[in-house]
Amino acid sequence: MAVVLVDAGGTNIGSVRYALQRLGVDAALTSDANAIRQADRVILPGVGAAGPGMARLRELGLVELIRSLTQPVLGVCLGMQLLFERSEEGATECLAVIPGAASRFAEAPGLRVPHMGWNRLRVERAHPLVAGLGTDAWAYFVHSYAVPANDSTLATADFGGAFSAVVARGNFHGMQFHPERSAGVGARLLKNFLEL
C-alpha cells in the first residue's frame, strides 16, 4: 500500500510518519502531484495557522488536486480544519470538501485557549474509521480553532461544548487531535484509516 504525507509544512510530519512506521507503513513525504494522485492513502498533516497552511498548498499547486482525490484522505489537526469550507482564523477560504467552518474557542472561566491536553472522545455514529473505540477513548489535542458538530461528525470531544473530533464525508476524513500522540487510541484510528 502506498501512503503519502503531503509536505505542506506541518511541524508534526515526523511524528505522524513514525506512528505509521509502528503500524508497518513507510509513508513517503511529498509535495509531488503525481505521487499524491497515485497513492492509495493520502494524509494531510498540519500544525500552525489556516492562512499559511492554505497559502502553502496554493504555492505547491495542490489545492485542486486534493479536491479531486478519490482515494481515502485524512486531515490531521490543522489538516482536518483545512478540509472544511473556511476558517475564522484569518478569514481563510479552505479546501471546501466538507461543509462547515472552523471557529475560535470562546474563552471562559476554566477554559484556557488553546485547548491543550487529553480529552475523551464520544462516538456519535458508527463508521469504519471509529470502529473499536469504546466509551473510555482519550485523545491528545492542541488547538485554538474547532469545527462545531455537524452532519460529517463521527466523534466529538467537549471543551465548553461539543466540537468535531473525528469527521468523514465521502473519501475525506479528519481527526482534530494528534493520533500520533494519542497512544493506543491514535494507533487504532490510524490503523482503521489504513484499512478503509
**Is 107 considered catalytic here?**
no
**Is 77 considered catalytic here?**
yes
Among candidate residues 122, 140, 120, the one with its CA nearest the CA of residue 180: 140
- Strand ranges in the chain using DSSP code E only, listed in sequence order: 3-6, 28-30, 41-44, 73-76, 84-87, 92-93, 98-104, 115-120, 122-123, 138-143, 145-146, 153-158, 162-169, 172-175
Cell of 24: 508497518
Q: How do strand 98-104 and strand 145-146 relate by DSSP bridges?
A: antiparallel
Buried b (16+ CB within 10 A) or exposed e, 156-170: bbebeebbbbbbbbe
Which position among 77, 115, 143, 173 bears the catalytic label? 77
Which position among 59, 127, 178, 195 bears the catalytic label? 178
Which position among 89, 94, 143, 180 bears the catalytic label? 180
**Is 180 considered catalytic here?**
yes
Q: Hey, which residues are catalytic here?
A: 77, 178, 180
